[in-house]
Amino acid sequence: MKRTRSESMAENRSKLIAAARKAFADKGVADASMDALTAEAGLTRGALYHNFGDKRGLFAAVVNQIDSEMAERAKARGAAAGKGWNALLAEGAAYIEMALDPEVQRIVLLDGPAVLGDPSQWPSQNSCLQVTRQAVEDLMSEGILKPVDPEAAARLISGAALNAAMWIAASAEPESVLPKAQEAFRVLVEGLLAKPVQACQT
């Protein structure tokens, strides 16, 4: 059965993103060869330019895919920890822990900000922010968090997790930095609690 043009384009995009993930993780975005990358995908440079505009566009698509996967993994960790406050805390801790993943380290946390600029402006981060804001609003409505501006609280929680992850990724000893970052994140976020932390462990 003949594929449609849109199906063909979607397949080419998937191939290019898969090849790019490997190249960017192995060599970094600056040293990744577009010729080698497109050859690995079995496509031409023209296909890359047609689908992503340029190398930066392809890199942005890779970052968006990985960052979205990170959000899903964090959400799953949160769900396993329970609901409400416990889920929020577990999601943040999980996101920070992903900084130990070499692919996440290099592509999202190190090269990402250098190439794409402020992470808070990335589509994937903005989507994550909206989910965090909803969780914050729910916890405020239940009286678990102090009544502060929910967007401000969500931005600070997301920013703390992201900056902790970036600190770990840039560290010479990421494994030793992880517990420090997670503990500090927990203490900072607990400052939003309206009740003692023991009362929220349900």
Q: Which amino acid is at 121?
A: Q
Distance CA 100, CA 178 (A): 8
Distance CA 161, CA 90 (A): 11
pLDDT value of residue 100: 96
Q: Evaluate whether 65 touches 75 at the Cβ level (below 8 Å).
A: no
Quickly count: other Cβ atoms within 10 Å of residue 117's Cβ. 10
- CA distances in angstroms from 171 to 166, 168, 192, listed in the order given: 9, 5, 28
Residues 6 or more apart in contact with residue 70 via CB below 8 angstroms: 95, 98, 104, 108
pLDDT value of residue 202: 41
* Three-class DSSP category at 193: strand
* Three-class DSSP category at 81: helix
pLDDT value of residue 191: 94
pLDDT value of residue 120: 83
Closest residue by Cα to residue 102 from 14, 16, 15, 21:
21
Residues 48-73: pLDDT tens digits? 998 899 999 999 999 999 988 998 99
Distance CA 12, CA 38 (A): 10
Distance CA 82, CA 97 (A): 18
pLDDT value of residue 7: 78
How many Cα atoms occupy the beta-carbon half-sphere of 139 within 13 Å? 30
Residues 6 or more apart in contact with residue 120 via CB below 8 angstroms: 126, 129, 155, 158, 159, 162
Distance CA 32, CA 37 (A): 8
Question: pLDDT tens per residue, the chain (202 residues)?
Answer: 566 877 788 898 999 999 999 999 999 999 999 999 899 989 988 889 988 999 999 999 999 999 889 989 998 999 998 889 999 999 999 999 999 999 999 999 999 999 999 988 888 888 888 889 999 999 999 999 999 999 999 999 999 999 999 999 999 999 999 999 999 999 999 999 997 655 444 4
pLDDT value of residue 1: 59
Q: Which amino acid is at 19?
A: A
pLDDT value of residue 199: 41
